[in-house]
Structure 1
Amino acid sequence: MPTEDSRPNLVTIVGRGVPANYEISVDGTIEMIDGNPLEEATVVSSQTAEGAIETGVRRFRFSGQMANVRLVDWNGVPAPESPHTPRVHVDYGVSTRGDDG
């Protein structure tokens, strides 16, 4: 099982209260944390995660660098043109030890 040392980076997707879709790609590997991909309707392959979010947070650990982030609102309008797309936070070299999730 991968460890924080093998995936030291964190990307957080934060919903804004309206349905929206996201796709994040990295040049390393990615995995969802703090949730169940099946329950969250999130598709995760070795380098890409995509799904929908309305409220709440989706968090992913990854190795390498962020390659691409695509966000669209419920009408298909991409960020930054739409104020309703989720917020994205990317942190490199962080630990989640001590977090609730």
Structure 2
Amino acid sequence: MIRHVVSWKLNGADAAARAEQAATITATLTALPALIPEIGALQVGTNVAYPESNWDVVLIADYASLEALEAYQVHPDHVAATHVIKPLVASRSNVDFEV
């Protein structure tokens, strides 16, 4: 199994703007499991502590294999989600590892 973890620092000018952006990202990502069969599990979390140093939003998703993750990456619904998310992001970090 591959665990895919992505963190985002959002580009909103203040906490209220970043909270709105985080809500948009959460809604966009949590809709994907119903659309993309390769997603085994998906969780999205919004930071609740130390906003000056922590990242704002995290995605944790599981895939049966690296091939399933790669199929997810190019799936049209995932690509559409990236078009919603990218304009809201200042920085992105990710790691993929075996579980």
Normalised to the residue count of structure 2, the TM-score between the two structures is 0.38
Q: Which has the higher contact order (CA 8 A, sep 6+)?
A: 2
Would you tell me which structure has more helix in proportion to its own residues? 2
Normalised to the residue count of structure 1, the TM-score between the two structures is 0.38
Would you tell me which structure has more strand in proportion to its own residues? 1
